[in-house]
């Protein structure tokens, strides 16, 4: 089984307000991108990783990768306007003999290794894909446009979506192509596979696999990293 990593890192980081792409934000003096990518080294997924960068930043990313992963042949490509477009560009660039693709947000610096392995096994076995996710501790409320409570789904079936999401290459390419043709936009990739009838396994993630979005998240990530909690 040959696996490749696709790392969408083309977000502008506007909610972080640092005036630079989020993946370049400093965590313990090192770019978030480098932290996240390092987590995939034990899985042998750094060498052939495909990384999506915001327009105008591909060279910065390449220089950074050259510094921290010398001799590795990571590919840096320009991402799209939305995450979905960035991922579609990434999966189009995979090597011909790749069986499964591991898609992970650069903005999640602490993916739990065991869950990643489980998701890879599921996607390489009896499922059409797998996503790392976290059972919701909070009750989820569905509101409407006027901020009125519309519906309260049963909590035991609620999961917060995380990444990595892992898929056989042919499955995820077909799902993206269909979504694009039908003008469907999602904030993750597993939903694209599920909407065309695919069976996607939910794999238990970790609260520490949070996405760095705001300055508060970055402070939390500093604490996790500084105290070696993940
Ligand atoms: O926007 P959000 O924070 O949910 O993004 C999740 C991941 O998708 C981040 O790692 C971000 O860099 C990436 N992204 C991307 N291309 C975009 C928007 C977001 O690769 N156009």
Domain residues for 126?
3-226
Q: Where are the alpha helices (DSSP H) in the chain?
A: 32-38, 58-68, 83-92, 113-124, 169-181, 190-194, 215-226
Over residues 167-185, the mean pLDDT reads: 98
Report the DSSP beta bridge partners of residue 167.
101
Per-residue burial over 37-59, b if 16 or more Cβ lie within 10 Å, else e, is bebbeebebbebbbbbbbeebbe
Q: Could you give phi then psi for residue 158, rounded to 5 degrees?
A: -90, 130
Q: To the nearest whole percent, how much of the chain has pLDDT over 90? A: 95
Q: Is the peptide bond before 164 cis (omega within 30 degrees of 0)?
A: yes
CA of 33 to the centre of ligand 1 (A): 12
How would you class 175 by CB atoms within 10 Å of its CB: exposed for 0-12, middle for 13-18, buried for 19 or more?
buried
Identify the band that residue 72 occupies on the pLDDT scale cut at 50, 70 and 90.
Answer: confident
pLDDT in tens, 119-167: 999 999 999 999 999 999 999 999 999 999 999 999 999 999 999 999 9
Cβ burial 190-212 (10 Å sphere, 16+ → b, else e): bbbbbeeebebbbbebeeebbbb
- Domains contained in the chain, number: 1
Looking up residue 196, the CATH number of its domain turns out to be: 3.90.550.10
* Ligand 1 atom closest to residue 106's alpha carbon, by position in its atom list: 10
Query: What confidence score (pLDDT) does residue 122 get?
Result: 98
Tell me, using a 6 A CB cutoff, whether residue 22 lines ligand 1.
yes
Confidence of residue 18 (pLDDT cuts 50, 70, 90): confident
* 13 confidence band (pLDDT: 50, 70, 90): confident
Q: With a 6 A CB cut-off, is 119 part of the ligand 1 pocket?
A: no
Label the pairing between strands 200-204 and 30-31: unpaired
**pTM assigned to the model:** 0.97
138: alpha, beta or left, given left = phi > 0 and alpha = psi -120 to 50? beta
pLDDT given at position 128: 98
Nearest to 209 by CA among 226, 190, 230: 230
| Chain-centre distance for alpha carbon 218 | 17
Query: Which residue in this structure is represented by tokens 């003096």?
Result: 29
Task: Indicate the burial class of 111 (C-beta count within 10 angstroms; 0-12, 13-18, 19 or more).
Answer: buried
State mean pLDDT over 25-49.
97
Main-chain phi, psi angles of 16, to 5 degrees: -85, -25
Probe target for ligand 1 pocket from 17, 18, 105, with the most ligand atoms within 8 Å of CB: 105
Which of 31, 52, 107, 131 to mutate to test ligand 1, by most ligand atoms within 8 A of the CB atom? 107
Distance CA 212, CA 229 (A): 16
Q: How confident is the model at residue 58 (pLDDT cuts 50, 70, 90)?
A: very high
């Amino acid at each position: 089984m040959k696996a490749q990593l696709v790392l969408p890192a083309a977000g502008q980081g506007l909610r972080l307000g640092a005036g630079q792409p989020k993946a370049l934000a400093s965590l313990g003096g090192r770019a978030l991108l480098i932290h996240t990518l390092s987590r995939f080294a034990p899985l042998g997924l750094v060498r052939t990783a495909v990384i999506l960068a915001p327009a105008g930043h591909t060279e910065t990313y390449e220089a950074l990768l050259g510094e921290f992963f010398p001799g590795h042949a990571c590919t840096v490509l320009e991402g799209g306007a939305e995450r979905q477009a960035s991922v579609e560009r990434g999966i189009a660039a995979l090597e011909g003999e790749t069986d499964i693709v591991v898609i992970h947000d650069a903005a999640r610096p602490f993916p739990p290794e065991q869950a990643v392995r489980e998701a890879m096994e599921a996607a390489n076995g009896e499922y059409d894909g797998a996503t790392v996710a976290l059972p919701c501790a909070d009750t989820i409320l569905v509101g409407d446009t006027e901020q009125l409570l519309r519906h309260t789904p049963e909590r035991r079936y609620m999961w917060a979506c995380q990444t990595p999401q892992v898929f056989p290459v042919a499955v995820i390419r077909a799902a993206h192509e269909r979504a694009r043709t039908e003008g469907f936009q999602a904030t993750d990739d597993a939903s694209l596979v599920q909407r065309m009838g695919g069976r996607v396994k939910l794999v238990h993630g970790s609260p520490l696999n949070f996405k760095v979005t705001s300055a508060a998240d970055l402070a939390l990530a500093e604490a996790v990293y500084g105290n070696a909690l993940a």
